[in-house]
Amino acid sequence: MIIIPCRLTSSRFPNKVLKDVLGLPMVIRTAQSVSNIDDVIIACDSKEIQNIARKYKIDSILTSQNHQNGTTRINEAANLLKLKDDDIIINVQADEPFIEKSIVKKLIDQTNKNINKKDIMINSCYKKISLKESLDPNFVKVILNTENHAIYFSRSQIPFNANNKSIEYYGHLGIYGFSKISLNNFCNLKPCLLENIEKLEQLRAIEYGYKIAMIEVESKSFGIDTPNDLENAIKIFS
């Protein structure tokens, strides 16, 4: 199941999930972009979003307004839906209206592959990015070990290029694959120092010693965090 966590308020870009993206509200375009892959449901915090989802015939479920992040919101939705422990849950952010279906399919396959590996808590994706993108704090970077497991995520440029060698930088895509039980286990962990410093909740898994399995993808999509991001996305994808 694909669950899209969606909250109406946003400090940097108020009501961004309802902003028009090429004729559709952002969250609806996101939901439609991943349709026909698996069941899709919007986990929202307001009747306003539910009414819009109903208008476009997208399933939705009302969750608490008190969630601090999208992961706990989709966990509440999964519990309300009574999903089984071994069900696959894909977390697609509401502000990714141009996410490619091929990436979601790859992540589903990867999550299924790792379903019985208890040390792997999360599955996710990365792509090669430019030097300019590596310097953007809104673009989350990741470094990997030899098994393609994430070592660390940061808003800073990582790794630091001390010797000015030719290196590749990897950007993290904010899409996650869980089993229902691993999602629940993650949400039962207490928040950690690193995730609070970086404001990156996936660091919680690493700090507790779990693995995040990463797959490389090619993608033009990016999360829309600001009005400028939306303007750029529309220029690129229109």
Closest CA to 27 of 18, 36, 35: 18
Percent of the chain exceeding pLDDT 70 equals: 99
pLDDT single digits (tens) 130-159: 999 999 998 899 999 999 999 999 999 999
Burial 143-180 (b: 16+ CB within 10 A, else e): ebeeeeebeebbeebbeeeeeeeeeebbbbbbbbbbbb
Reply yes or no: is the peptide bond before residue 227 cis, omega within 30 of 0. no
Mean pLDDT computed over 204-224: 93
Q: What is the pLDDT of residue 11?
A: 63
Tell me the Ramachandran region of residue 164: left when phi exceeds 0, alpha when psi lies from -120 to 50, beta otherwise.
left
Q: Structure pTM?
A: 0.93
CB 200 within 8 A of CB 150: no
Distance between CA atoms of 124 and 195, rounded to whole angstroms? 17
CATH superfamily, with its number, for domain 2-237? Spore Coat Polysaccharide Biosynthesis Protein SpsA; Chain A (3.90.550.10)
* pLDDT in the model for residue 230: 82
Task: Give the model's confidence band at 84: pLDDT under 50 very low, under 70 low, under 90 confident, else very high.
Answer: very high
pLDDT per position as a tens digit, 88-119: 999 999 999 999 999 999 999 999 999 999 99
Contact between 110 and 103 under an 8 Å Cβ cutoff? The reply is no
Query: What pLDDT sits at residue 90?
Result: 98
What average pLDDT does the chain have?
Answer: 93
Q: What's residue 187's pLDDT?
A: 97
Task: Grade residue 235 by pLDDT with cuts at 50, 70 and 90.
Answer: confident
